[in-house]
A and B are shown apart, each in its own frame.
Chain A
Amino acid sequence: MGMTRMMPWLTGILLFAVAALLFVRTANGQMALYIHPRYEVLMYGCGAVLFALAIICITMPIPMPRHSIQFLLIPVLFGLGIAPRALGADAIGHQSTALNQIAQRPQSAVANVSAVDTTQWNIYEWAVAASIDPLVLKGKPVQIDGFVVRNSDMQLADNQFMLARYVLTCCVADAGGVGMHVQWANSASYHSDQWVRVEGVIDLYDVNGVMQPLVIAHTVAQITAPPKPYLVLQK
């Protein structure tokens, strides 16, 4: 079979592979490592159309655009060749985010913080609340999950680590890390990317004249990484 006659077959197979990637990664939850879960339905729809187009490509060949196969190979090789992995502690310096007013819960709650159950807040909500008024948070109870960050360039005290999560709005391209400093006697026994649940209370410490929250941990328990590790903005 000549190269020209093979091209529709090769292109069709690669389209099948892309469609299969969309189906499988979405079905097993790994797509959530790349995009916001709101797109999952679209992934199934797109996968179905790509399957149909792959069949058309093989059975009713059209003249192929130049280098279609080479370009299609890139997502297929990367998608199949490298196991999906959530962004972790090593990328935290690259992907930081600015805090904002999206998290409605703390925004409304900060005004009346004594009446709310702050153990329900995640790291992002704590960070937003701290950006509004850190002083009212002192002494409030905390229960948060996240991964440990203990990068050498962070200059943390021996009894401290950072607990962090990534926040996603659209896809990994806009993922931003948020974190809180945790004080715990056995901090050195935890390594970066280890997932833990921290329970404790908030204290404040001075960073260049700005008060920042510090979690005084009462317990730190190792947990398994959640299947959907990013915090997603629901809107």
Chain B
Amino acid sequence: MTALVQQIRSGVMTLCTIAACGVVVVANRWLPVSADIITKTDLFIAIFLGILYEALPFLTAGALISAAIHQFLDPQWLAQRLPKSRWLVAFIGALLGFFLPICECGSIPAARSLVYRGAPVSLGVAFAVAAPVINPIVFISTSVAFAGVFGWSFVLWRFGLTVIIAVLTAIMMPKLIVVPSLTSELADNHTHADDEIPFLVWLRHALGDLLDMLRYVIIGASLAAMIQVIVPNTLILQLASNAWLAIPAAMLLAAVMSICSTVDAFVALSLVGSFSPVALMAFLVFGPIIDFKSIPMFAAVFGWRPIPQFVATIAVLTIVLCSAIWRLGWV
């Protein structure tokens, strides 16, 4: 009976989704609605699909890496090699991204797999937070964009602050737990037969991770697109002229834009005339960790309950640390 109810509920939800999207499509193409509504729905769909298309390759790569960790990483091997100190473990987690160059779409499912395979949660949290920035691609893009504008110290501080925030977040939130996922259930409930081809098992795990995370990326892309349509970027840019509001405004802009960390340095470069260097530092540190695309993904891994504290911790650390290096004259 419960299964039947679930099936009916699922069918109704599918019909509702088709109906809702259908109304948008039909109204946009054929109904005589106002030009402003057409503009806004066009803009919403363009931004939504832009964020989603751009995220899909990284999400897919993340699912493949996550599945590989699940399948090939030996928990005993990991346990024997990790130090006992939580600080050291978090520090290792923060630097691990350099060897797994993926943005947040990939780092969050990969972090979950690391924890399932025996890594301490602090390592997983530090990895998930730092990996979008601590990787070779971001180092190159940030250097090309900013070394000639604000100097190498600006470039290095982006990475330094990200490591500090990742380690402190992992230490300050010791009660975070990783909620079970489809991949973990697949692994728990499935004993590999000898004749199973490892490549196909890997793809099955990757499929589970992709379908799981894709839901949250779609929610995040919808939210980001909706807010961009309702609150034009120009409004947030106006806040940048106030010295006190510049840092939060830059962080808000980064969260709303939800762009990939591999190229966000060039977007930040386009804001040089509007934001102070310290506000841009906040944009570059906060944006890759927290945006409307990553928040639902973090919630998929840690559950929704700790997310407000998680976001607030990272936001406060970003504001405090960026303000500190600014007051000290380091940027």
Interface residues of A (CB under 8 A from B): 2-4, 11, 18, 22, 25, 31, 33-36, 39, 42-43, 45-46, 49-50, 52-53, 56-57, 60, 62-65, 67-75, 77-79, 81-83, 85, 87, 90-91, 93-102, 131, 167, 169-174, 176, 233, 235
Contact between B50 and A73 (Cβ–Cβ < 8 Å)?
no
If A70-B14, A167-B270 are given as contacts, then 20 extra A-B residue pairs at C-beta distance below 8 Å, sorted by A number, are A34-B53, A36-B263, A42-B57, A43-B56, A45-B57, A56-B207, A63-B208, A72-B214, A77-B17, A77-B25, A78-B48, A78-B49, A90-B35, A90-B38, A95-B233, A98-B272, A102-B266, A171-B50, A173-B50, A235-B144
Interface string of B212-228 (1 = CB under 8 A from A): 10110011001011001
Contact between A100 and B271 (Cβ–Cβ < 8 Å)?
yes
Contact between A33 and B11 (Cβ–Cβ < 8 Å)?
no
| Chain A positions within 8 Å of B56 at CB level | 18, 22, 43, 46, 50
| Chain B positions within 8 Å of A97 at CB level | 270
Contact between A4 and B7 (Cβ–Cβ < 8 Å)?
yes
CB of B52 closer than 8 Å to a CB of A: yes
* Cα of A91 to Cα of B13 in the assembled complex, Å: 32
Residue of A nearest to B216 (CB): A71
Residue of A nearest to B64 (CB): A49
| Chain A positions within 8 Å of B25 at CB level | 77-78, 81-82
| Chain A positions within 8 Å of B273 at CB level | 98-100, 131
* Cα of A42 to Cα of B46 in the assembled complex, Å: 19
* Cα of A112 to Cα of B228 in the assembled complex, Å: 40
Contact between A174 and B259 (Cβ–Cβ < 8 Å)?
yes
A63 CB, nearest partner CB in chain B, Å: 6
| Chain B positions within 8 Å of A98 at CB level | 237, 270-274
| Interface size, B (range) | 35 or more
Residue of A nearest to B196 (CB): A60
Contact between A65 and B43 (Cβ–Cβ < 8 Å)?
no
Contact between B203 and A53 (Cβ–Cβ < 8 Å)?
yes
Contact between B264 and A170 (Cβ–Cβ < 8 Å)?
yes
* Cα of A59 to Cα of B51 in the assembled complex, Å: 30
CB of B147 closer than 8 Å to a CB of A: no
Contact between B21 and A173 (Cβ–Cβ < 8 Å)?
no
CB of B33 closer than 8 Å to a CB of A: no
| Chain B positions within 8 Å of A25 at CB level | 53
* Cα of A78 to Cα of B51 in the assembled complex, Å: 13
Contact between A173 and B7 (Cβ–Cβ < 8 Å)?
no
| Chain B positions within 8 Å of A3 at CB level | 7, 10-11
* Cα of A105 to Cα of B159 in the assembled complex, Å: 30
B149 CB, nearest partner CB in chain A, Å: 7
List the 6 closest A-B pairs by CB distance, nearest first.
Answer: A172-B50, A81-B25, A171-B50, A77-B21, A42-B57, A46-B57
Residue from B28, B141, B269 in contact with A82 in the complex, judged by beta carbons closer than 8 Å:
B28
Residue of B nearest to A89 (CB): B39
| Chain A positions within 8 Å of B46 at CB level | 33-34, 85, 87, 172
CB of B111 closer than 8 Å to a CB of A: no
Contact between B18 and A73 (Cβ–Cβ < 8 Å)?
yes
Residue of B nearest to A175 (CB): B50
Contact between A65 and B18 (Cβ–Cβ < 8 Å)?
no
Residue from B3, B48, B200, B260 in contact with A4 in the complex, judged by beta carbons closer than 8 Å:
B3
| Chain A positions within 8 Å of B234 at CB level | 93-94, 96
Interface string of B1-21 (1 = CB under 8 A from A): 001000100110110111001
| Chain B positions within 8 Å of A87 at CB level | 43, 46
* Cα of A113 to Cα of B21 in the assembled complex, Å: 52
Residue from A53, A91, A174 in contact with B206 in the complex, judged by beta carbons closer than 8 Å:
A53
Interface residues of B (CB under 8 A from A): 3, 7, 10-11, 13-14, 16-18, 21-22, 24-25, 28-29, 35, 38-39, 42-43, 45-54, 56-57, 60, 64, 141, 144-145, 149, 182, 185-186, 200, 203-204, 206-208, 210-212, 214-215, 218-219, 222, 224-225, 228-229, 232-234, 237, 257-260, 263-264, 266-267, 269-274
* Cα of A99 to Cα of B35 in the assembled complex, Å: 29
* Cα of A39 to Cα of B259 in the assembled complex, Å: 13
| Chain A positions within 8 Å of B17 at CB level | 70, 73-74, 77
B273 CB, nearest partner CB in chain A, Å: 5
* Cα of A64 to Cα of B207 in the assembled complex, Å: 9
Contact between A170 and B21 (Cβ–Cβ < 8 Å)?
no
| Chain B positions within 8 Å of A83 at CB level | 29
| Chain B positions within 8 Å of A52 at CB level | 203
Given A3-B10, A43-B53, A67-B215, also A170-B267 (CB < 8 A): yes
Contact between A171 and B39 (Cβ–Cβ < 8 Å)?
no
Contact between A73 and B53 (Cβ–Cβ < 8 Å)?
no
| Chain A positions within 8 Å of B52 at CB level | 75
| Chain A positions within 8 Å of B149 at CB level | 101
Given A90-B39, A102-B270, also A65-B233 (CB < 8 A): no
Contact between A174 and B215 (Cβ–Cβ < 8 Å)?
no
Contact between B272 and A101 (Cβ–Cβ < 8 Å)?
yes
